[in-house]
Structure 1
Amino acid sequence: MSMNVCTDQLAMLVAGEGQLHSVSNLAADPGISVLADEAGRYVVNHGMGEEVFLMGPDLVLAGTFTAQPAVEMLRRLGFRVEQFPPESTFEGIRDSIRRMGQLLGRQERAEELVAELEAGLDDLLREPVANLSVAVYSANSYTSGEGSLSHAVIEAAGLTNITDKLGIAGVQRIPLEQLVLADPDIVVLGEQHYEKPALAQENFQHPAFRAIASGDRLVRIPDRYWICGAPFTLEAARMLRQAAGEVAEQ
């Protein structure tokens, strides 16, 4: 069974018939899970040790940020728990796919997925693209730099992250003034919205932000494509590449 939305999806992609019994409740959320429809085939868990104990699985899959008390309790009880770190590079995605294949005895299936990933990356490299700059901008004014999966996706698309020249690594807040001065060719937002007005999204309402993020310069990429690393992460790079082509034609 899996207790983490990223291991949920890797396991669903790799597991053979009858191998995977349970996935986390987040696996069925289409906002963060590409395989939300498929998640309905499995028993749902909420990442609680008690649930795992009652199901009695041979293997528990978890993320390194999965609730540590539950993970430690399960190990003390004798359960085999394998934790996967969040991927920040396509090399990391390859490693996680192969590791999942080894754990489930599905190495051949894992290599098929790795080949799919590599073919998609090669396709992106073969297509010419204008050297455009990209800014990922999130609620509460966060951006993603080197060391994040978003950064790896931008590079795979053949584009330049504005964080390279701003000295920003990982996920950090960026003042709106700094974003405006960087003047990115493309501004990337997610697709999730709060149902009610929220302070976290006030940065999107500022006239200065609207001035630099309008028309073809504004691209919305669903969060589910790059919250977790998998072959489907290529879709985010393809969407960026398409946006770059439209901007270059202006």
Structure 2
Amino acid sequence: FTPGADHASTTWLVSEPDSSLQADYPLTGTVTDFETDDLVHNATVSLWFGDAVEGPPDASGISDVNGSVAIASVPACDTMTYKVTTDPVLAETKTTFKAHQVYSPSGAEIPGGGFTSVSSVTYQLIPTILGVAVDADKAVIAGTAFDCSRDPSLPSTDYAGRIEGLHVIVYDENGDIPQSLTVNYFVEEFPSQNQLHTSPDGLWVAANVPPGDLRVEMWGLVGGALTLLGATEVLSEAGSINIANLYTGYGDGVKFPASCMATP
């Protein structure tokens, strides 16, 4: 990883999985609420393999009364984007995307696959605390800033690799910073109007993000100079929330867990 003046001039790390592990397996998992970890029933999970959210999903499943979902065939150790939705008439949740998701196999299956759903209450509550109103034709992106040692398979409750002191910038598909955009940070996992950069929890949220293909960058001080340290690419859809984590040294947000890497 060699920082440059911008995204194009930076030499980024590339995560290469063990190709022998890249095969299709049945997946079992659960859908849980982003804020409370409560199980979410009757949620539709849609998967797009290879991260390209185009056309109908490549696979899907519906969670049962226990929040459990089973999908017959999912590629292990490969990237995908998932979307979680519930009955729009009930308006209990917001459409939730997560890009660059990777699942690891164990034996002849992918066990314990996790999917996150954001409730409508949480979607409105965080911006309200921050004094921001989310426009109906805009979206929200939220995530965590990590260093390059962080294993993506770790649970969100694990603080390993979270980074303090970073600034997050979002660019639209034209390479501009949207005028409607507001970026805020958290303190002890609670949104703060006064926090100017990531705190030790590494959490950030961008509200009123326009729809389209976006790039999220994180910048921090290195030797006294503001330096681009990581980035990710996400698709924004009006009225949705996209969970997008950032890793130091990676320019596309794709980092494979250790369980998908070749053993030296």
TM-score (norm 1): 0.27
Pick the structure with greater CA Rg: 1
Structure of greater relative contact order (alpha carbons < 8 Å, 6+ residues apart): 2
More helix per residue: 1 or 2?
1
